[in-house]
Amino acid sequence: MKIQTDERKPGVFVVSLAGDLDMSSSPQVRNILLPIFRKKVSHIVVDLTDVPYIDSSGIATFVEALQLSRKDKVRFSLAGACRRVESIFDLAYLKNIFEMAPDVNQLIDGEQGR
């Protein structure tokens, strides 16, 4: 799994993932994603454009991030999920729980940052 973190605007972080998000890669994503909530952050977007597959451990990582975002009042969104990944969120009854958009720019354009 390739993971890239980029602060696009002050307080707006984009975490881009590439590869399958499964039991072997989820701990790596978790270790990078969750500490971002401890920074001066207003919005975290995970870019899933290059993620062809996600399993329950990947979903669990995002649920954990969502819980943190609610506690810390940080906006947390997912972008670019392919049909297959989106259908797995749907199967878990989580598609409407997460803020999801077709691409990152749609989520952060016009956002001022912190």
Q: Does 67 bind other proteins (CB under 8 A)?
A: yes
User: Measured between alpha carbons, how far is residue 49 from residues 4, 7, 18, 39, 46 in Å?
Assistant: 13, 18, 8, 25, 9
Tokens of 74: 């940080």
Q: With CB under 8 A, what is the number of residues at the site for other proteins?
A: 23
Q: Is 4 a binder of other proteins (CB under 8 A)?
A: no
C-alpha span between 1 and 102 (Å, rounded): 21
How near is the Cβ of 13 to other proteins at its closest, in Å?
Answer: 21
Which residue, 25 or 108, has its beta carbon nearer to other proteins? Answer: 25
Q: Which stretch binds other proteins (CB under 8 A): 10-18, 37-45, 87-95, 100-108?
A: 87-95
CA geometry: angle 17, 111, 90, nearest 5 deg = 45
Q: Does 57 bind other proteins (CB under 8 A)?
A: yes
